[in-house]
Copies of this chain bind each other. A is one copy, B any other.
Amino acid sequence: MNTGAVLANLRQAVGAAHVLTHEDPSTDLSRWERDWRGRAHGRALAVVSPGSTAEVAAVIQACAAHGVSVVPQGGNTGLVVGSVPDDSGRQVLLSTTRLNRVRELDAANRTLTVEAGCVLQTVQDTARDAGFLFPLSLAAQGSCTIGGNLATNAGGTQVLRYGNTRDLCLGLEVVTAQGQIWNGLSGLRKDNTGYDLRHLMIGSEGTLGIITAATLKLFEQPAAQMTAWASVPSLPAALDLLGLAQSRLGAGLTGFEVMGQFALSLVDQHFPQLRVPAWRNTPFAVLLELSDTESVEHAQAQLEQVLGQALDEGCVSDAIVANNLTQAQGFWHVRESISSAQAAEGLNIKHDISLPISRIPTFCDRAGDRLAHAVPGVRIVNFGHLGDGNLHYNVQAPVGQDPQRFLLEQEAAINAVVFDEVRAHGGSISAEHGIGSLKAHTLPEHKDPTALDWMHRIKAALDPDNRLNPGRVLPIQAR
């Protein structure tokens, strides 16, 4: 590789100001080179920030000409080490953050076309300012980009009603591994002219092409939202409540989160000011959210009716409907503080699993028993998006044990138990975070072999030189 020639071509493609390298010792590239949970720190040949789709194509063509591979990056908030370069110093980091224009809002078609580098919150705000809702919502929304959300098919808190990111996208603009531009932007809700390349791209984590823009679906803003907190005597009871709420509220049910007692106790312990609602006498609590097209009064009546029936039927032992926005936000704040409370308690082993909803109780029983047997005293922080079958089934060291040592000694064994039970119950080892490089080596264990074979065939067909994000999703194969 002729580094000088590569850099000259890149500077030609995007302008010298948008090519950063280690040549200048005062330049700190670590915000692009380190993943945000700090588990990987690579070294890039250059950080390149194209300002247009044509410039993205020119960058890829330059890299192809020199045999250099490319790692695309949006807000760099991913959780599976999918968007930072390896430590070879030979990969180009392509940052999409200058691709940040809102191209078109089509109110009558209820679509919004934005470039990949737009921050999610900007997309949400643009929709809201026009009287619409863009429902994708997740913790990193102030810094993650819509391109990254699409590349990883992000989930979040509104999946129950609106689906994953893939369900919110009608069309894409993509630069291929050969530096060609595919103009697949489309505001169409129906288009049966050939293979669905949009869905193939979404969730492919930058390994098949680079998303440069997208046309997104917009929805009506709800007239009212109402939140409730319910104590449930068991996980099967939580499932009964879910079924009841779905049949009575239909698409109005926009949130259904479950939280185990130990998870809530951590919030209570580390953030006592949050006032966790009645958690001491119940093994699980559920947070319900209803979005209503009519009014606050209608929403409240609807939610109270469902909870009243649930109390009668015994699947709820106690319930509070938030009587103002502050109380509703307080409920959500408790839910969203579980991760931080857990961090305050010490390092832990995190999982992002999904299961058929019907099998969650049995999974939790079996995995819990096996973990308690394998590591006496182990503490399980069980919470998640129950309505989507998605649990963050995290494992904390026994009281008094050094968390660092616990991780070092037990992580492999605990993952083996959890993933074994996930498999036995027809689940997935990555519900919403993706594979990245963190899980790429484990994918062959968990994926149907024919599906894995198809993935390799498709990668080889679209990116035969392994130009784009090599080693992510699919482990690099010996030729």
Contact = CB atoms under 8 A, between A and B. Distances in A.
A460 interface: yes
A223 to B, nearest CB: 9
Nearest to A166: B196
A372 interface: no
A457 B209 CA distance: 14
A432 B190 contact: yes
Interface in A390-438: 390, 426-435
Contacts of A89: none
A469 to B, nearest CB: 13
A196 B200 contact: yes
A448 B186 CA distance: 12
A182 B448 contact: yes
A153 B192 contact: yes
A357 interface: yes
Contacts of A434: 192
Contact of A181 (B106, B194, B450, B462): B450
Contact of A183 (B199, B448, B453): B448
Task: Give the one of A189, A239, A431 with max B CB within 10 A.
Answer: A189
B109 A356 contact: yes
Task: Give the one of A188, A243, A451 with max B CB within 10 A.
Answer: A188
A250 B457 contact: no
A204 B193 contact: no
B246 A197 contact: no
Interface residues on A, range: 35 or more
A83 interface: no
Contacts of A468: none
18 contacts: A106-B356, A108-B357, A109-B356, A109-B358, A110-B357, A176-B450, A181-B450, A182-B451, A186-B428, A187-B389, A188-B428, A191-B354, A192-B434, A193-B435, A194-B447, A219-B250, A220-B246, A251-B252
7 residue pairs, one from A and one from B, having the closest CB atoms: A199-B199, A251-B251, A108-B358, A461-B461, A182-B450, A187-B356, A250-B293
Interface in A123-182: 152-153, 155, 159, 161, 164, 166-167, 176, 180-182
A289 to B, nearest CB: 15
A330 to B, nearest CB: 26
Contact of A109 (B293, B357, B455): B357
Number of copies: 2
A133 to B, nearest CB: 10
A117 interface: no
A443 interface: yes
A460 B458 contact: no
Interface string A375-392: 000000000010011100
Contacts of A462: 454, 457-458
Nearest to A155: B190
Contact of A435 (B106, B194, B357): B194
A203 interface: yes
Interface of A: 106-111, 152-153, 155, 159, 161, 164, 166-167, 176, 180-184, 186-197, 199-200, 202-204, 208, 219-222, 239, 243, 246-252, 293-294, 302, 354-359, 385, 388-390, 426-435, 443, 446-448, 450-455, 457-458, 460-462, 473-474
A473 B194 contact: yes
Contacts of A197: 451, 454-455
Nearest to A80: B192
Contact of A426 (B152, B186, B460): B186
Nearest to A446: B193
Given A153-B192, A183-B448, A187-B356, A110 B246 contact: yes
A428 B194 contact: no
Contacts of A294: 302
Contact of A222 (B176, B250, B426, B473): B250
A108 B239 contact: yes
A208 B166 CA distance: 22
Nearest to A293: B250
B246 A189 contact: no
